[in-house]
Structure 1
Amino acid sequence: MLETLLIRGRAVPPEPPRRRGATSMGPERDRFGVLKAVLATVPWLQVGLGATVVLLAAMVPWGTDRLLTAMDQQILAVDVRGEFVGESQVALERAAGAWIGKSYFATDLADIKAELERRPWVASAAVKRVWPGRLEIDIREKKPLAYWTDGRLVSRSGELFSPPNPDVAGKLPRLAGPDERVRDVIDMARSMSDQLVGYGLGFAGLTLEQRGAWTLTLSNGIEVVLGRDQVAQRFERFVTVYENRLASRVDEVSRIDARYSNGVAVQWKADVAQAAPKS
């Protein structure tokens, strides 16, 4: 008699079916492993801070513009200051008044400065904003040194200008010469004027002719012809002769020609009177 033996034990799971033609090579590689490794090396804190800084920097101009727009208003008044001889306070204020009603922030102060400095008497204009709606303008006038050829004026800085009212400059010496030689004329005039003071003589004018000859005019009306060459030496010779021989008779002298090597030629007022034609 056959006996049936039942042996119990743990069940062994069947092996999973294998794909035909496939050979098992171990666990499948993680597809994103390289990407994860790269990302793990990125300093995300620094990147975040950098991005924040860039964003804030980009927002500053925008925020500033919005703030200025909110604060902006019209220019309500213009104050003009300065010491004026040739210019008029009223005329300057009228000229600057063209900017009243314009934007306080958007108005270019350089435009105002340039416009005012086009006026003949204005040497410089300093313009500044004063909150909430005012402009302050400081004007510096040109200081005239002498009258120049054709009724123009020459400033102390050597600038030639043609104001509509040159006579307001008052009594000034008269200089003349080619425009491109204005600095030479000024330098010569200053040198002679300083020396004449020591001899009690006043300086009234100096002319430089186109061909280079100099003629000095004294405040007493005497003309001194100095010519083109050795002008400084001829001037000194004139001063010496005047001090030694002519000072006591200055009222009789009309013209002095210093173009001689050993002295000067004097033209007396009596000679001028005798040479005048009789009517």
Structure 2
Amino acid sequence: MSGLGTKLPELRAVGGKVSKGETIERSEPRRRLPMVAGFFLFFMTVLVMDHVIRSGYFTIQKVVIDSPLLVISQGSIERETWRKISGNYLNVDLKTIETALENRPGVYQAVVRRVWPDTLSISVIETQVIAEYRQLDRSEEKVERQFINLPPQNGFSFRPLLRGPERYRAVVVDTFHEIFSLLAIVNLEPRSLSVGHSGQWELELRRSDLKLENTFRVFLGRDQIVEKIERLVFSFETVLSHKAGLISKVDMRYDNGFAVQWHDDPEDKKFQIASVIKDDN
């Protein structure tokens, strides 16, 4: 036998061929590592920020009033502001402070600003026009007194009285704002505006250009309150102004006209009914 004629065995790699699936599985831990690191970094950032915000850092040190005050004392504004501060410079609720200040008699509007690094700046618009709101319970008795700051440009010297259940409070205030400018056209002052639990509205008026303190009541019904006031203003200017001091009651609960009761009515029951047609041309 010849050694040259002998065929040598083929050499092969031990361990076999690596499959495609095994390659993907081995690369997945490498891909997850940046995601885990990013999540950990984000988590640590949140913890640090939470610690800074909740801790004693960035505490508010000063409250500054940057508008002149003529009606309200500066001390009362500062004390109310400090009472409503919760948190630090970064997370203090400015809206809560503004609302608390605007609930104080004489503050029509309050604006609170942050001034870096530790100060709150307060700007106040004052008003001397304040209405009293008396909340009624189910028995129509007043159970709570509240004060409502009206726009300073209204400029009347008396304190209007608004009455009604709590659910009507916003509607009564808005209605008062609407009718005030209408009544001023004919020199009528709204001394009181009220609505009962049944939804019946009533208004007490006084002629502002008369020295006498004579007032008269106006019955408005349940709906279209502003429209009825507009009709009253037109009727007053047309047929009632020269008898303003004699009016006791006016009933506007009619579709077109109205009824008047006079102070000199001996029976105090009779109403004189009138109808006024407004010419829009």
| Short-chain TM bin | 0.5 to 0.7
State the percentage of identical aligned residues.
14
**How is 1:103-182 mapped onto 2 (pairs within 5 angstroms)?**
108-110=91-93, 121=103, 128=114, 130-131=116-117, 134-136=118-120, 138=122, 146-149=131-134, 150-154=144-148, 171-182=158-169
The alignment yields a C-alpha RMSD, in angstroms, of 5.3
- TM score, norm. by length of structure 1: 0.54
Q: 1:226 aligns with which of 209, 213, 219?
A: 219
Distance 2:20 2:13 in 1: 12
Counterpart CA distance in 2 for 1:97 and 1:235 is 44
Aligned match for 2:80, one of 45, 68, 92: 92
Residue 252 of structure 2 corresponds to residue 251 of structure 1:
no
Mapped pair 1:198 → 2:191 = no
TM-score, structure 2 as length reference: 0.54
* Cα 1:238–1:126 shift into 2, 3 Å: closer
- Contact in 2 for aligned 1:78/1:93 (Cα 8 Å): no
Aligned position for 2:200: 213
Question: Could you tell me whether the CA contact under 8 Å between 2:97 and 2:112 is conserved in 1?
Answer: no
Distance of aligned partners of 1:78 and 1:32 in 2 relative to their CA distance in 1, 3 Å threshold: farther
SS of residue paired to 1:226: strand
What residue ranges of structure 2 are gaps of 5+ in the alignment? 135-143, 152-156, 208-213, 268-281
For 2:190 and 2:204, the matched residues in 1 are separated by: 7
- Tell me how far 1:91 sits from its aligned partner: 1.0
In structure 1, list runs of 5 or more residues that go unmatched: 1-11, 16-23, 158-169, 273-279
Report the 3-state secondary structure (helix = DSSP H, G, I; strand = E; otherwise coil) of the residue aligned with 1:30.
Answer: coil
What is the correspondence of 1:53-68 to structure 2 with a 5 Å cutoff?
A: 55=37, 58-59=40-41, 61-62=43-44
Task: Name the SS for the 1:26 alignment partner.
Answer: coil
Partner of 1:21: none
Deviation at 1:268, TM superposition (A): 1.5
Contact 1:224 1:258 in 2 (8 A): no
The alpha carbon displacement at 1:200 in A equals 2.3
More strand by proportion, 1 or 2?
2
Distance across 2 between alignment mates of 1:33 and 1:60: 43
Structure showing greater Rg: 1
Q: Report the equivalent of 2:61.
A: 77
Distance in 2 between the 1:180 and 1:43 partners?
68
Using the TM superposition, give the Cα deviation of residue 179 of structure 1 relative to its aligned residue in structure 2, in angstroms.
1.8
The superposition leaves residues 184-239 of structure 1 with CA deviations (integer Å, 9 ceiling, x where unpaired) of: 33344344323222222222221112223222111445223325267657645644
SS in 2 for 1:210: coil
For 2:39 and 2:45, the matched residues in 1 are separated by 10
In structure 2, the CA distance between the partners of 1:191 and 1:62, relative to structure 1 (3 Å rule), is closer
